Amino acid sequence: MSSTVESNVRQDPDELLIKIADYALDYKVDSKEALSTARYCLMDTIGCGILALSFEDCKKLLGPYVKGTVVPNGVRVPGTDYILDPIKGAWDIGAIVRWLDFNDTWLAAEWGHPSDNLGGILAAADYISQQKLLEGKEPLTVKDILVAMVKAHEIQGVMALENSFNRVGLDHVILVKLASTAVISSLFELSKEETINALSQVFVDGQSLRTYRHSPNAGPRKSWAAGDATSRALQLVMLTMKGQIGYPSAISAPSWGFKDVLFKGNDFKINQNFQSYVMENVLFKISFPAEFHAQTAVEAAVILHPEVIGRLEEIEKIEITTHESAIRIISKEGDLNNPADRDHCLQYMTAIGLLKGDLIAEDYEDAAAADPRIDALREKMIIKEDKRYSEEYLEADKRSIANSVQVYFKDGSFTENTEVEYPIGHRRRREEGIPILLSKFEKNLKTHFDEDQANKIIEICSNEEALKNISVVEFMSLMVSKIK
């Protein structure tokens, strides 16, 4: 006889919650490469956030919800003089660093931007450090931030290796929320039980849909979605600190758990330990503010620019050979309605590279998009998949993001098939890429700060040991500025 009574015995926590909590609280990051890469990632992420302050649509979302509110010992947002509640501070920092889609990326079964976690990490570290000073204790240092970044990258990235949230319609920012919750719990020195409780809340939350990243609904929410996720992580941790209980089978509970409700009943696949693999292999967007699947296509287009710019009217067709993920995510025909739509269009970005020999954030704005030559080139583009590109995109020892571009003219002539398999921000091109990344950092800072303030930030960031040892309070103070 079947029972009509449900068992109310709470299970032990789901294995994944335990595994992430153990890693966040106990793992010692001793990889010099990971910590060094984290410093570059910190610089690049902050620089991209500062550059975003040049865009009015970003600036108007920042600051307190109630104008004029100043929170005692509140969180600072780089490039502004706002002093905010920690949760809104995390939202603002997360929004500016993601706004232009110009810093690090991770590509696997799920893609995303692990530096998005810096919104919650910086906000939590600034808040905690100021509270410690009030209590007569030593504040956190930037090394604590770097360690938290390595761990956040690892949690988000390893979870992404074989678990595709996009294929069930969910946005990758769930992994930002998960990783941020884990490392913020560690910064607040929560117990293992409290950390598991906070992590379980992530899975109980309803998750963001990918609607705003895809045609025909692509829009600017994708620029603040990660800020929203990392700030929610900080909120969940602070609710846990106020005594909110967790939900140990949040993932596995039949019918009501994340797996059954939102993941089509599938189990998560985690086939390697959390260590420092992701930070060591992270991809930087160094040359172009372009969705990463298009980075090498733009690089190839820039190479071809001198050969084609004088022959635009003679072009018969343009073949772009790419990988499956690019076709699924950013290949578009038809009208592009806003900057967020354009920076997720492989054809648009490639056209800009061919026309200008470059691609900058302003090229997505309405004024640039009004150039009729862009759509004329888009209409001549043919997108093809190379199975090898698709396979090597997923191979752990390669993780290429390959594209090739070839232009055919009406007289029967054609350019070389210009292939770029690894973008300049790839680990295989680190030596070539880091000097350009440092130049990008300096250039981005000087779009907003005066020469003296920019140089002070550059000086401290350029000295790895000095940066690690500076207090978070002092570091954040370096970047306070009137928002223009």
- Position 285 pLDDT exceeds 90: no
Q: Which of the 8 DSSP states describes residue 217?
A: S
Summarised one tens digit per residue, pLDDT across range 23-42 is: 999 999 999 999 999 999 99
pLDDT band at 7 (very low <50, low <70, confident <90, very high): low
pLDDT band at 3 (very low <50, low <70, confident <90, very high): low
β pairing state of 315-322 and 381-385: parallel
- DSSP E strand boundaries for 327-424: 381-385, 403-409, 418-420
Summarised one tens digit per residue, pLDDT across range 218-242 is: 899 999 999 999 999 999 999 999 9
- Position 1 pLDDT exceeds 80: no
Residue 357, C-beta contacts closer than 8 angstroms, at least 6 positions apart = 302, 305, 306, 309
The pLDDT assigned to 287 comes to: 80
Summarised one tens digit per residue, pLDDT across range 173-227 is: 999 999 999 999 999 999 999 999 999 999 999 899 999 988 889 899 999 999 9
CA distance 152 to 123: 14
Task: Say if CB 123 and CB 184 are below 8 A apart.
Answer: no
- Sign, CA dihedral 67-126-482-221, equals negative
Task: Say if CB 347 and CB 371 are below 8 A apart.
Answer: no
Taking residues 320-337, report their average pLDDT: 94
Task: Say if CB 121 and CB 234 are below 8 A apart.
Answer: no
- Position 146 pLDDT exceeds 90: yes
Taking residues 447-453, report their average pLDDT: 97
Name the average pLDDT for the chain: 95
Taking residues 385-390, report their average pLDDT: 97
Cβ atoms within 10 Å of 149's Cβ, excluding its own: 30
Summarised one tens digit per residue, pLDDT across range 89-105 is: 999 999 999 999 888 98
CA distance 222 to 226: 8
Give 478's strand partners: none
Summarised one tens digit per residue, pLDDT across range 293-302 is: 999 999 999 9
Task: Say if CB 143 and CB 468 are below 8 A apart.
Answer: yes
